[in-house]
Amino acid sequence: MKALPCSGRSFPALALALGLAGCGDETGVTGRLTNDEALALAAILVGQGLDSGLDEVSGPAQSPGPDRAPFTISHRIDAQVPCPLGGLVVLSGSVHGSGDSETGDIDVTLELTQAHRGCRAAHEKAEAVFTLHGDPDVRVHLETSVMNQTDFDFLGNMAGRVSWETDDGRRGSCVISLSFDLSSSGHTETASANVDGAICGVELSQSVVLG
């Protein structure tokens, strides 16, 4: 299976939702991360989960016959993914689904465990560069629907713990419990996203619509 990027895609509605979602004092500290840094870490982790989901949707398919448009997707996931600034994420899990190559419709369910191994990543919301390690891992459940190759819906959740270090010498551990959904229409050029849950003690709850 091809290598999967850690945070190579952009999800504008979801990024905006995470950018607006922090509750409480924006300059306050939760543990040893500021609210902005905790939100940036949430954006990185959710982005990794969505990136992995998109790559698995385009992964190997098993067709019932050479002349039939419907196909199934069913395979195990076992990959090591390089992170943007160094290190990697070890992925394990499975993906199952079905689709139609003529209509471009796909429905996929992904169960994924992400174990960070010195994964270095940054986000524009915070100046910090994070180095992440699994404590022990982050578990992702993702349900994906693509319609007519233009409209898509993601519904998912993630839970677990990561330990983190920043380049200014801070370190700690964060509990993650997030649910999210993201939808986009290529016909109307609109997108919407909802994010709820908590990361590093920072509560998230936000809905946004773009377009």
Q: What pLDDT was estimated at residue 18?
A: 62
Q: How many CB atoms lie under 10 A from the CB of residue 43?
A: 25
Q: What pLDDT was estimated at residue 138?
A: 95
Region for residue 45 given its phi and psi (left: phi exceeds 0; alpha: psi -120 to 50; beta: otherwise): alpha
Q: Could you tell me the pLDDT band of residue 56, with boundaries at 50, 70 and 90?
A: low
Cα gap 27→33, rounded to integer Å: 10
Q: What pLDDT was estimated at residue 54?
A: 62
pTM, rounded to two decimals:
0.76
- Taking CA atoms, 119 is separated from 4, 48, 82, 177, 188, in Å, by 13, 11, 8, 20, 37
What's the mean pLDDT in 183-208?
82
Q: Could you tell me the pLDDT band of residue 191, with boundaries at 50, 70 and 90?
A: confident
Please tell me which residue, 10 or 194, carries the higher pLDDT value.
Answer: 194
- pLDDT tens, position by position, 12-55: 556 556 655 555 444 444 457 888 888 888 888 877 877 765 66
Asked if residue 3 has pLDDT above 60, the reply is no
Amino acid code (one letter) for 39: L
Cα gap 118→181, rounded to integer Å: 28
Nearest to 112 by CA among 65, 159, 58, 153: 159
What's the mean pLDDT in 75-84?
88
Asked if residue 5 has pLDDT above 80, the reply is no
Please tell me which residue, 209 or 8, carries the higher pLDDT value.
Answer: 209
Cα gap 1→101, rounded to integer Å: 20
Please tell me which residue, 154 or 133, carries the higher pLDDT value.
Answer: 133
